[in-house]
Amino acid sequence: MEALYPLRFHPIFLEKIWGGEKIQTVLGKDFSPLPNCGESWEISGVPGKVSVVANGPFQGRKLTELMVLFGPELLGRRILNQYGMEFPLLLKILDAAEDLSIQVHPDDTLARTRHNSLGKTEMWYILDADPGATLISGFNQEVNEQLYLQKLESGKLYDILNVEEVAAGDCFYLPAGRVHTIGKGLMLAEIQQSSDVTYRIYDFDRVDDQGNKRELHTEQALAALDYHHYPTYRQAYQQALNQPVELAKGPYFTTNWLKIDQATSRNLASKDTFVMLVVVEGSVEIAHHAEPLRLQKGETALIPASEADYTLVPLTPSVTILEAYCSE
């Protein structure tokens, strides 16, 4: 059996009613013959959308196959004990040419009860933003179910939603239960629990090419929503060079921001987890005894738990990377 190594996967491209072209025009990913691409699933174990290896001896093998073959070497024994053969995280790139629906995701308890699924806590890192682009994260005041329904039914939901103007480099952490939407003109990297459960609250009365409106989940959303108002919704972080900066940390995943201009060693072996990398700017080589792996902007990799002591070598004057793994 071949040994494990840093893995690249073929993106899974999804056309969306709100999808755009930046995944191709900005990141160079060819999603033809689709007319647009709203989502590029980069690392996924979700049934029906399982990632397939694109490099090295395991090219053509599914992520779930490697999980069976290697178990703790790939996932980390801690992760295997916690999640079994359910890959716990999902990494996507999203491009919104139009606003997404206003929506919310259930937590673990609700998702298990209703859908036999993990909940969906997620984070967003803005890769590209048109001038004036906005997103919604949370409420702008304390809300209860009665006020929420009153605003929803009267067509004035925006009155109570927190709207944020954003730019490339901004980061948002969205626990399950937080009302949200991605606004038009935004492309972002999304790191989340491995779940595809979404409750659509409002969809701007859009219709598909058959003239049909998409289903709304008004009743399901009521028990999922967190009605509280929070002082801030944007993740604050101070950029630094050649050392990791924590972007977001919750019970499910930790994400670091890393800008380097020299070879930088990362030793995460003690965390006993796989690591996911996303290149935000520039190009990088992941040094490895088998074969170095080169990544450019928008490309991603999975570092197996057994290989979590690795070195990043910039191929451009500097490179910026997101590094995500399962929290301890």
Distance CA 286, CA 293 (A): 5
- DSSP assigned state of 19: B
pLDDT of residue 210: 80
Q: What is the pLDDT of residues 31-90, one digit of tens each?
A: 999 999 999 999 999 999 999 999 999 999 999 999 999 999 999 999 999 999 999 999
Which one has a higher pLDDT value, 2 or 315? 315
Distance CA 254, CA 89 (A): 11
pLDDT > 90 fraction of the chain, expressed in percent and rounded: 94
Distance CA 268, CA 170 (A): 25
Which pLDDT band, with edges at 50, 70 and 90, does 209 fall under? confident
Out of 8, 178, 200, 266, the active site residue is: 200
Amino acid at 183: G
Q: Assess contact for 280 and 224: CB atoms under 8 A.
A: no
Distance CA 258, CA 242 (A): 7
Which pLDDT band, with edges at 50, 70 and 90, does 204 fall under? confident
pLDDT of residue 256: 98
Mean pLDDT of 186-203: 96
Q: Assess contact for 247 and 235: CB atoms under 8 A.
A: yes
Mean of pLDDT over the chain: 96
pTM score of the predicted model? 0.95
Note if 200 is an active site residue.
Answer: yes
Residue 208: pLDDT over 80: no
- 299 Cβ contact partners less than 8 Å away, ≥ 6 residues apart: 8, 278, 279
Which pLDDT band, with edges at 50, 70 and 90, does 10 fall under? very high
Among the ranges given (210-224, 227-241, 308-322), the one the predictor scored with the smallest mean pLDDT = 210-224
pLDDT of residue 182: 98
- The β-bridge relationship of strands 264-267 and 275-281 is unpaired
Residue 304: pLDDT over 80: yes
Which one has a higher pLDDT value, 205 or 8? 8
pLDDT of residue 263: 97
Distance CA 40, CA 55 (A): 18
Domains of the chain and any CATH numbers: 12-224 (2.60.120.10), 245-326 (2.60.120.10)
